[in-house]
């Protein structure tokens, strides 16, 4: 039970990475209900691939959080376990958008 948080965060990171790899195929069916919430794009395949790259960068946040869960003992302090996803998700999302986002 001591490393449950680290295991859960590693599973979340793995799931996000698998979905990012699925998006790298460029398949339109990988995004559910896409036509309801996006504008039409000229290069749909490229748009989906860039989205997969952004998602792969966002998957780094739970991975770092899982590493913090393994390194820092939760009985001593839980601050790194809380700060890693709270700071990591917005930071990784911002970084991914800055690197790969192109307006449709």
pLDDT digits (tens, 9 = 90+) for 52-80: 898 999 999 999 999 988 888 877 888 88
Total structural domains within the chain: 1
pLDDT at 98 over 70: yes
Q: Do residues 52 and 20 touch, judged by C-beta distance below 8 A?
A: yes
DSSP secondary structure, 57-88, as one string: HHTHHHHHHHHHHHHS-TTT--HHHHHHHHHH
Q: Which domain holds residue 38?
A: 4-100
- Among 1, 3, 12, 8, smallest CA distance to 73 is for 3
Tell me the three state secondary structure of residue 75: coil
- Overall residue count recorded for the chain in this entry: 104
Supply the pTM of this predicted model.
0.80
Reported as a pLDDT band with limits 50, 70 and 90, residue 100 is confident
Task: Identify the pLDDT of residue 35.
Answer: 59
């Amino acid at each position: 039970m001591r490393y449950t948080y680290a295991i859960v965060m590693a599973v979340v990171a793995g799931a996000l990475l698998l979905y990012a790899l699925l998006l790298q195929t460029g398949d339109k069916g990988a995004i559910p209900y896409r036509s309801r919430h996006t504008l039409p794009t000229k290069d749909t395949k490229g748009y989906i691939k860039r989205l997969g790259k952004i998602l792969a960068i966002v998957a780094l946040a739970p991975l770092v959080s899982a590493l913090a869960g393994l390194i820092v003992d939760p009985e001593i302090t839980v601050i790194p376990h809380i700060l890693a996803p709270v700071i990591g998700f917005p930071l990784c999302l911002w970084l991914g958008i800055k690197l790969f986002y192109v307006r449709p």
